[in-house]
Amino acid sequence: MGNLTHLDLSDANFSGLIPHQLGNLSSLCYLYLGSNFDLYADNLYWMSGLFSIQYIDLSSVDLHKEADWLQIMSKFSSLLELYLSNCKLDSLNPSLGFVNFTSLQVLYLSGNHFNHEIPNWISNLSTSLLKLYLDDSSLKGKIPPSIFNLEKLEYLSLDPNHLIGKIPESLGQLKHLTYLDLSFNSFNGPIPLSVGNLSHMRTLSLNQNQLNGTIPKKQLVLSSMANQDQNFSSSTSQSTAYRELTPMEDPRSPFFLHHGESPGVILVSQLLTEDNYPNWARAMLMALDAKSKQGFVDGSITASMAVTPLEKVAWSKNNSMISS
């Protein structure tokens, strides 16, 4: 199998340790191991032999034992997309001054537990990074100035976290942004004037913060946006424009997730007992149907419907929420 270039073992119910022998596949370009919830890695040094790797998806694989994941991944000069959501990672190594992701275009780190500030090494990705997902990752502090050096950035998702302070005027430097979600944080102050420079913006979500002042019409009437509401959340586009939302962001997708939906959320108030199953089941099915999630229970929405890495991440998150 020395000539193997694509390996997709995602959502296959594998468990146990990832075999280090996978590192012998020196021609491998695409490695998909995501959504195997009982799979784990004791280290990732075995990956050093993947000289041609371009796409890595280890979403929902337990990586908490590998403290050097960032240094290892950044050595892949050909790596274009990296998906490590819900991997139980606890550090972005903010003390590192430099990370050598020379070609990385997509960095997906949602659902981890970093519990520190956004690191300054993010600016090292300024010449390549298009999409950055750090949502639901327990990030703290203010948005660092280094993030505004990502001159090609199109997608930035920082919701929900514990970020504070004013939204910097430097936001206007990200002139290629089409999607920005800063909702469910603790930002304060007004919307920066520089938002008016973001002429490609299609989705802007600032809700559930402590913003003040009035909604500035001149700032939010952008060439690709039509209106905004009173909680500083805008998600509109021109009728002729293509809306490039991820599956979890697109209400039309079967994998759509609202911000308020998470594992452990209570769908019905009544507890299941020996005597109330019919009424409980009816209430549960109605709740699932209202959230367009009944298909995850009756089998009409299957893992095979998730084809792209983003869809597989979205399916995994939906499945985890329903299973909980």
**Span 106-157, pLDDT tens digits:** 999 999 999 999 998 888 888 889 999 999 999 999 999 889 999 899 999 9
Return the CATH number at 199: 3.80.10.10
Within this chain, do residues 218 and 259 fall inside the same structural domain, yes or no?
no
- pLDDT on residue 22: 92
Report residue 7 as tokens: 């390996």
Please say whether the beta carbons of 69 and 63 come within 8 A: yes
- Establish if 242 belongs to a structural domain: no
Residues 6+ apart with CB under 8 A from 34: 10, 11, 57, 58, 59, 60, 61, 83, 309, 312, 313, 316
- Establish if 240 belongs to a structural domain: no
Within this chain, do residues 112 and 14 fall inside the same structural domain, yes or no?
yes
Q: In b/e form, how buried is each residue of 127-140, taking b as 16+ CB within 10 angstroms?
A: ebbbbbbbbbbebe
Average pLDDT for residues 80-95, to the nearest whole number? Answer: 91
Residue 229 in this model has a pLDDT that exceeds 50: no
Within this chain, do residues 216 and 263 fall inside the same structural domain, yes or no?
no
- Establish if 1 belongs to a structural domain: no
- Establish if 44 belongs to a structural domain: yes
Within this chain, do residues 130 and 163 fall inside the same structural domain, yes or no?
yes
- pLDDT on residue 313: 77
Within this chain, do residues 255 and 282 fall inside the same structural domain, yes or no?
yes
Residues 6+ apart with CB under 8 A from 233: 183, 204, 205, 206, 207
Query: What is the extent of the structural domain holding 207?
Result: 6-235
Q: Between 174 and 272, whose confidence is greater?
A: 174
Distance CA 240, CA 90 (A): 42
Within this chain, do residues 252 and 119 fall inside the same structural domain, yes or no?
no
Average pLDDT for residues 193-222, to the nearest whole number? Answer: 78
Distance CA 13, CA 270 (A): 32
- pLDDT on residue 305: 76
Within this chain, do residues 145 and 222 fall inside the same structural domain, yes or no?
yes
Please say whether the beta carbons of 257 and 274 come within 8 A: no
Please say whether the beta carbons of 161 and 138 come within 8 A: yes
First to last CA, the chain: 39
Distance CA 170, CA 242 (A): 27
pTM to 2 decimal places: 0.72
Within this chain, do residues 21 and 59 fall inside the same structural domain, yes or no?
yes
DSSP tag of 283: H
Within this chain, do residues 13 and 153 fall inside the same structural domain, yes or no?
yes
Count CA within 13 A, CB hemisphere, residue 161: 30
DSSP tag of 197: G
Q: What are phi and psi of 31, to 5 degrees?
A: -125, 115
The total number of structural domains that make up the chain = 2
Within this chain, do residues 253 and 129 fall inside the same structural domain, yes or no?
no
Q: Which of 191, 211, 235 is the last residue of a domain?
A: 235
Please say whether the beta carbons of 295 and 301 come within 8 A: yes
Within this chain, do residues 185 and 286 fall inside the same structural domain, yes or no?
no
- pLDDT on residue 56: 93
DSSP 107-131: EE-TT----SBPPGGGGGGTTT--E
From 76-80, 178-182, 230-234, 311-315, the region with the lowest mean pLDDT: 230-234
Residue with tokens 């952008």: 222
Count CA within 13 A, CB hemisphere, residue 91: 12
